[in-house]
Amino acid sequence: MASLTVAGTVQVPGDKSISHRALILAALADGESVIRDVLVADDTASTAYALRALGIDAPPLGPEVLIQGTGVRGLRAPGANLDCGNSGTSVRLLAGVIAGHPFSATFVGDESLRRRPMRRIAEPLSAMGARFSFAAGDGLPMTVQGGDLRHIAWTSEVSSAQVKSAILLAGLVAGVPVSVREPRPSRDHTERMLRSLGVTVTSSRDAVTKLTPAARLEPFDLTVPGDPSSAAFFLALAALSSSGSITLPGVCVDTLRAGFVRAIRHMGAIVKVSDTRQATGEEQGTITVAPGALRAIHVRESEIPAMIDELPLLACVATRAEGETVVRGAAELRVKESDRIASVVDNLRALGADAEAFEDGFAVRGSDKPLRGTVRTGGDHRIAMSFGVLGCVPGNEIRIDDRDCVAVSYPGFWQDLRKVTS
Ligand code: S3P
């Protein structure tokens, strides 16, 4: 039987969440900041484009980006709609920033972004004093009218770093204290970055985050670590291979992002994390991964926020793990770039895998049956890459209908995949 040997080192691109935040905070700082290894991809280009429309002098994204910040409340009214393409993070974080400025802005986006729910940010930001209007429902186009805001203590129904960050940024810009309670802690890059810039932000063990506003932000020099959500594709690939190993240097290994590392290890892959160090408030390290006999797992609900973007990939790996892998408590997957529960389960079934959808998750029963057919990505980058990995397994013949959609988060994905499999 054919086998798959993997070998090599992949330097995955800069973390998407940290890149968005670095660009936004640099715009709000007093003076010139330097961002190194920012993610150069469609989503971060959307944030940079919107910041330019808001009066920021920002060059095209590259290995080293200099941003001239105009101060905590120094953006100016945009002359055009803010087109955020496919990027939910750009809209939600920038809506928080604009809520504290004395002007209005209208967000538009692609077909996927227009369907994504914005009530989750519109409610708390409206309670602070901003005004929102929607062309229809609670999706884009969305207009935010900012102004003087009041302090807030908000309880969010969902664990969402985007909601939390929108509120923290609104508090920062408007100069009012804010607190956010989440069901479980979500990724905390905004808090870490703000803390490293001298802003008082506290996080309690029961997932309450509080910000005390600062009058100004110091400009900074930040190197963005590799994106664990991009690294996950190579963890999965090595786990599914028959021999060899893949090394991934400089990846963010923060606990709140490392759910997939823990899961794949639990499934039987051999994963080592070495050279760990703190850099600009974020823990990073080198991940080395090699295959092992894969068995199914039940993902605990408490682990979901730390691997929310990797769950479609986990479903793909589960097709080759012995037993039934079950994910519940992940209804948030339904409102990502696509309905990722329907998308992953429908595609797996179309290829011949044994998968079942639940309202809040999925079950996948593993086997060594070859999977064959065409995957419909619905334009979702993570669906394309997850099935791209599954397509490398000997015996599987998987065509992806839209390979180019990876440009949203990882433009060089197919080249990197080829590099470690050939
Ligand atoms: C992100 C938070 C997560 C994640 C998204 C990026 C961020 O979304 O799925 O890809 O950068 O804050 P939610 O905040 O909606 O959980």
- Domain boundary residue, one of 150, 176, 210: 210
Residue in 110, 100, 167 with CA at minimum distance from that of residue 141: 110
d(C-alpha 27, C-alpha 32), whole Å: 9
Exactly one of 42, 43, 309, 380 is catalytic; which is it?
309
According to DSSP, residue 393 is labeled S
205, 279: one domain: no
Give the CATH number of the domain where residue 377 resides.
3.65.10.10
Half-sphere exposure in the Cβ direction for 36 (13 Å, CA): 7
Q: Is residue 302 part of a domain?
A: yes
Confidence of residue 280 (pLDDT cuts 50, 70, 90): confident
253, 295: one domain: yes
pLDDT at 384: 98
320, 175: one domain: no
Q: Is 347 helix (H, G, I), strand (E, B) or coil?
A: helix
**Beta carbon of 162 within 6 Å of any ligand 1 atom:** yes
**pLDDT digits 0-9 by tens, 171-217:** 999 999 999 999 999 999 999 999 999 999 999 989 999 999 999 99
202, 267: one domain: no
86, 45: one domain: yes
160, 233: one domain: no
- The type of residue at 36 is R
Q: Is 82 helix (H, G, I), strand (E, B) or coil?
A: strand
Please, which residues bridge with residue 361 across strands? 358
35, 75: one domain: yes
What letters, b where the CB count within 10 A reaches 16 and e where it falls short, cover 130-156?
bebeeeeeebbebbbbbeebeebebeb
142, 245: one domain: no
Confidence of residue 2 (pLDDT cuts 50, 70, 90): confident
65, 205: one domain: yes
**pLDDT digits 0-9 by tens, 118-146:** 999 999 999 999 999 999 999 999 999 99
In 13-162 the beta strands, taken as DSSP E runs, fall at 30-36, 64-70, 82-83, 104-108, 131-134, 142-145, 152-155
Average model confidence (pLDDT) for the chain?
A: 97
pTM here is: 0.98
Evaluate if residue 281 carries a pLDDT over 90.
no
- How would you classify the pairing of strands 208-212 and 178-181? antiparallel
Q: Is residue 24 part of a domain?
A: yes
Q: How many domains does the chain have?
A: 2
Q: Is residue 64 part of a domain?
A: yes
Q: Which of 87, 97, 156, 160 has most ligand 1 atoms within 8 Å of its beta carbon, as the pocket-test mutant?
A: 160
* Cβ neighbours of 201 (radius 10 Å): 21
- Domain boundary residue, one of 187, 210, 233: 210
Q: Is residue 10 part of a domain?
A: no
Q: Is residue 220 part of a domain?
A: no
274, 416: one domain: yes
* Cβ neighbours of 206 (radius 10 Å): 9
- The type of residue at 311 is L
Confidence of residue 1 (pLDDT cuts 50, 70, 90): low
Half-sphere exposure in the Cβ direction for 17 (13 Å, CA): 22
Evaluate if residue 14 carries a pLDDT over 80.
yes
Q: Report yes or no: 75 and 174 within 8 Å, Cβ to Cβ.
A: no
Confidence of residue 422 (pLDDT cuts 50, 70, 90): confident
Confidence of residue 284 (pLDDT cuts 50, 70, 90): very high
pLDDT at 290: 98
- Phi, psi values for residue 173, rounded to 5°: -70, -40
176, 283: one domain: no
239, 194: one domain: no
Q: Is residue 3 part of a domain?
A: no
Q: Is residue 330 part of a domain?
A: yes
**Beta carbon of 308 within 6 Å of any ligand 1 atom:** yes
Q: Which of 89, 333, 334 has most ligand 1 atoms within 8 Å of its beta carbon, as the pocket-test mutant?
A: 89
339 catalytically annotated: no
Q: Is residue 315 part of a domain?
A: yes
The closest residue, in CA terms, to atom 13 on ligand 1 is 160
Cα–Cα separations (whole angstroms), residue 67 to 51, 58, 117, 190, 192:
10, 5, 30, 18, 20
Q: Which residue range(s) make up the domain with 293?
A: 225-421
